[in-house]
Amino acid sequence: MDLEYSKEELAFRDEVRSFVEQKLPADIRTKMDHGLPMAKDDFVRWQKILFERGWVAPNWPKEYGGTGWSPTQIYIFDNEMGAAGALPVMPFGLKMVAPVIYTFGSKEQKERFLPDILASNVWWCQGYSEPGSGSDLASLTTRAVRDGDHYVVNGTKAWTTLGQYADWIFCLVRTDPAAKKQQGISFLLIDMKTPGVSVHPVITMEGDHEVNETHFEDVRVPVANRIGAEHQGWTCAKYLLTHERTNIANVGQLKRALSRLRRTASTVKVGDGVLAEQPTFARRLAETEIAITALEFTSLRVLSQVASGGAPGAESSLLKVRGTELQQALSELALEAAGYSAFPFTPEFDRDAGLEQKKSWANRAAANYFNLRKVTIYGGSSEIQKNIMTKAVLGL
């Protein structure tokens, strides 16, 4: 495996760096630098800038609007975007449902949905988990009963991230209740404006309205909105989850967060010195940096496999587990660095404070710590990912 970039790849890296420096809006950069919540407009604005440059969907096939980049170029792009503090694209449309549509959808479905996803004209959300069906996704109970040219959908989806903004939701629904769990499931695209769809907010520990419960009461969905064959939605689900898990391990963002934490720790006074020089804290920082480097090389190994014609399998679970564990580790170190300064945080303060107050890293340390408790759960919990690796790699 060659871990050295070619001259052409180094030139491409410089091109990406220059683009971000010139085109990333200053207000979005400020929010990213201080860990502040992003608005829908922030995501859409940045995605449209990337779209105009032709860079919003590097992973898509070129025939549908992708870049035609090599796996190495895609890796460089993602790494540089993260390292520069650029806002990641909202994944539900561009990185999750779109690959399912262009892989399993009909010609008509591709023509109908992909252009608007590419241009960020439509906001998507995900309907997978349910109140009684999270890690065991195949136990879902939301029903879709065939009625002529429509399905009638009833049930509830949980943890619908940013569903309050969504125009469409992609859902797993049970179309054959008599079949085994992984069978009898179909993949539907549902217009959120359809009568019977309602979104109910769930306020998280840090006080944000990020997730929701989405209820379906006799919602009529055209059969034409089903992706793939009836009862074969589990195939789509597994394909989508592989993409989701691989995307979660963003080495560039981890390296930027580590660098920001190191700078912060160098300003926190402890006795006659600073926190960054305290042996215990410095050791934990070094251990985290080593772990991020190891994750980067593991990502490069997966990249090499993909470049040789392979596809990520159990490796996507490994990247997901380590990437999310490191996100949490960095948030824990930031909270420790904030110390007593993090105590004034309350959800009410965070909502009502002015921008200058919010820009204090200490004020957001607790909020980010609380928010990142979720990352080892979504996309398949760490425990489930370890089971996958045990079966796929060790054969146990």
**Span 181-231, pLDDT tens digits:** 889 999 999 999 999 999 999 988 877 899 999 999 999 999 999 999 999
Kindly state whether residues 257 and 370 are assigned to the same domain: yes
Cα angle, residue 242 at apex, residues 246 and 310 outer, rounded to 5°: 85
59 and 181 share a domain?
no
Q: What is the mean pLDDT of residues 275-298?
A: 93
Question: Is residue 262 domain-shared with residue 174, that is, in the same domain?
Answer: no
Q: Is residue 100 part of a domain?
A: no
Q: Are residues 261 and 390 in the same domain?
A: yes
- Considering the domain boundaries, does residue 215 fall inside one? yes
Query: Per-residue pLDDT for 380 more than 90?
Result: no
- Average pLDDT of every residue of the chain: 87
pLDDT of residue 396: 67
* Domain end position, chosen among 167, 201, 230: 230
- pLDDT, tens only, 255-274: 988 998 998 889 888 888 99
Q: Which two tokens stand for residue 310?
A: 């392979």
> Has residue 240 been placed in a domain?
no
Same domain, 48 and 75: yes
Q: Are residues 160 and 217 in the same domain?
A: yes
Cβ atoms 152, 187 nearer than 8 A? no
pLDDT value at residue 69: 92
Give 355's pLDDT tier (boundaries 50, 70, 90): very low
The residue written with tokens 């997978």 in the block is 128
How many other CB atoms sit within 10 Å of the CB of residue 148?
8
Task: Indicate if 76 and 46 belong to the same structural domain.
Answer: yes
CATH code for position 370: 1.20.140.10
Whether 377 is covered by a domain: the verdict is yes
Amino acid (1-letter code) at residue 197:
V
Within a domain: residue 72? yes
Looking at the fold, whether 204 and 333 belong to one and the same domain comes out as: no
State both tokens at 338: 């904030």
Per annotation, catalytic residue among 244, 296, 315, 336: 244
Does residue 333 sit within a domain? yes
Q: Which of 279, 291, 289, 283 is nearest to 259 (CA)?
A: 289
309 contact partners, CB below 8 Å, separation of at least 6 = none
Backbone angles phi, psi at 119, to 5 degrees: -85, 0
The band of 359, judged by pLDDT with boundaries at 50, 70 and 90, is very low
Quote the number of domains for the chain. Answer: 3
332 in active site: no
Q: Is the pLDDT of residue 169 over 80?
A: yes
Same domain? For 295 and 334 the reply is yes
Residues 214 and 262 in one domain: no
**Which runs of E-coded beta strand occur in the chain?**
124-127, 143-147, 150-157, 168-174, 185-191, 197-203, 209-222, 226-227, 269-270, 273-274
Please determine, for residue 357, whether its predicted confidence score (pLDDT) is greater than 60.
Answer: no
User: Residue 141 sits in a domain of what CATH number?
Assistant: 2.40.110.10
Whether residues 191 and 294 share a domain: the answer is no
Indicate if 189 and 224 belong to the same structural domain: yes
Domain span at residue 319 reads 249-394
Of the candidate ranges 42-56, 107-121, 266-280, 373-387, the one whose mean pLDDT is the lowest? 373-387
Please say which residue of 230, 265, 285 terminates a domain: 230
Facing residues of 172 across strands?
A: 187
Any domain includes 155:
yes
Question: pLDDT value at position 344?
Answer: 60
Residue 163 has pLDDT above 60, yes or no: yes
Judged against a pLDDT cut of 50, whether residue 52 lies above it is answered with yes
Q: Has residue 110 got a pLDDT over 60?
A: yes
pLDDT digits (tens, 9 = 90+) for 9-30: 999 999 999 999 999 999 999 8
